[in-house]
A and B are shown apart, each in its own frame.
Chain A
């Protein structure tokens, strides 16, 4: 079930819109640079309790699949960059991190139809959106299918 807002450009089975946002070191990171991998685009924020809990789970999960062609792109909607970088360090997330510092008015958030955090989209190796808000066993099952091919 995909929740669409008026400005959402996210549709199942279609190409994910590209993401071009600043990373932790001021560099620019693009979602399209991860094509060829199965990517979990994970929208979160440092102040979102359930997001921080989800980060902890992903930290345990990530090493199992990262060498098999899986990547996570974490997109934060934090308005305060200091809060963001502190949370990234605290949660020990060693996967690509970017920020769109507009909170609920962030353009990337609007483009991807984000109305609640955390929200995640699973993108296949061809850059197509295949699922939303998968976690735990459901995410593992989807990864096994997508990485196997």
Chain B
């Protein structure tokens, strides 16, 4: 029994963890994205958002997540699109607990799968901000730059399908493409 407990604790310690605490996005569209409150109201209404600030000087929306509710960046993106705009930049901040990342490699952090692109191999510790580079989180021009940096097909879909299945990963598993 004692041996099993010890082994379990070791395995838990090996699992990569990060607590995502806040995000910041810039939106783009045909009309002035800061000039109406559609995005502001849509973000405020998300259940995992604790607060939203319109940062006029940077034309960005700064969000703080609630501590107890898991945040969904896809839900944030959908809220911006429902408001009639699209996400031009998306930064996600979290507290990382010794997470090893390598260029063009997948890493599982907590329950989610991330694919880091155009990064130096490194260990993420403490508060770090990563940039989401999935197709709907970037301008077309910026996305082209990042998708050219990997041969893996999952960058185009945000799902594992073209990147192959491994343990715990099916073709429908969401892969978050990010850089730092």
Contact = CB atoms under 8 A, between A and B. Distances in A.
Contact of B54 (A51, A103, A115): A103
Interface string A66-89: 000000000000011001000000
Interface of A: 47-51, 79-80, 83, 103-104, 115-117
Contact of B38 (A83, A115, A117): A115
Interface stretch (B28-36, B90-98, B125-133, B159-167): B28-36
B37 interface: yes
Interface residues of B, number: 11
A28 B3 CA distance: 75
Contact of A49 (B35, B37, B40, B54): B35
A50 B37 CA distance: 15
A49 B31 CA distance: 10
Contacts of B37: 104, 115-116
Nearest to A80: B56
Contact of B32 (A50, A83, A115): A50
A80 B41 CA distance: 20
Contact of A47 (B34, B38, B40, B41): B34
Which of A79, A80, A104, A117: most chain B Cβ within 10 A? A104
Interface of B: 32, 34-38, 40-41, 54, 56-57
A79 B36 CA distance: 15
10 contacts: A47-B56, A48-B32, A49-B32, A50-B35, A104-B37, A104-B40, A104-B41, A104-B54, A115-B38, A116-B36
Given A48-B35, A115-B37, A115-B38, 6 more contacts: A47-B56, A48-B34, A49-B35, A50-B32, A79-B56, A117-B35
B36 A117 contact: yes
A86 to B, nearest CB: 13
Nearest to B59: A47
A103 B44 CA distance: 14
A117 B32 CA distance: 9
Contacts of A117: 35-36
B36 A115 contact: yes
Nearest to B40: A104
A49 B41 CA distance: 20
Which of B35, B41, B57: most chain A Cβ within 10 A? B35
B116 to A, nearest CB: 35
A11 B14 CA distance: 63
A49 B32 CA distance: 8
Contacts of A48: 32, 34-35
A47 B55 CA distance: 10
Nearest to A117: B35
Which of B34, B41, B56: most chain A Cβ within 10 A? B56
